[in-house]
A and B are shown apart, each in its own frame.
Chain A
Amino acid sequence: SQTIHQWPATLVQPVGSPLSLECTVEGTSNPNLYWYRQAAGRGLQLLFYSVGIGQISSEVPQNLSASRPQDRQFILSSKKLLLSDSGFYLCAWSVFGYRTGLYNEQFFGPGTRLTVL
């Protein structure tokens, strides 16, 4: 069965410090991978998505970046965190043909709660 891992679960970082969040997927090949952020009381904002190794699409201009060094690994990074980067970060995957026949169903990881002080 497919599983998705995210770590760390919680993170407290000072403003201006770097960030690296990692997400890995098991049990599937060639997934689409996504990074979302949920700010307090808000919905899910798509930050990045990737359809393959080294292919990254950015949705929102910001000081975050993403990389996909391996098929099932997705990394979210920042060189200098801002207060506004605080939130709940979620990684998700989808695969063509799973259940509904298209890429539309996504499977989410447990999330990382980031607090920037």
Chain B
Amino acid sequence: QVQLVESGGGVVQPGKSLRLSCAASGFAFNNYGMHWVRQAPGKGLEWVAVIWYDGSNKFYADSVKGRFTISRDNFKNTLFLQMNSLRAEDTAVYYCASGGSGGYHFNYWGQGTLVTVSS
């Protein structure tokens, strides 16, 4: 079955960096766009970034543009999120999600990894 397993979360000081990973299995990873979506404590879901199936295009939410970078390794079936210049408002559970057919929705989700930005 489809599995998405995030890792790399933790506590980090404002202004520092963190790199999240998402290991995928159970589906043809290199055929699908992949996303990061986050949920801040007590808040709703917020889309963060998408990378196309072949890595040729990447798009970001305004709130993270210029600070976060999404990437993927299709040989290792792994998705990444490099987060730089972290702010307190980046504190959230970060989920990786696979794009559905057509890329208009999020088909499968991981369990999430918590990122806490605090001094």
State whether these chains interact. no
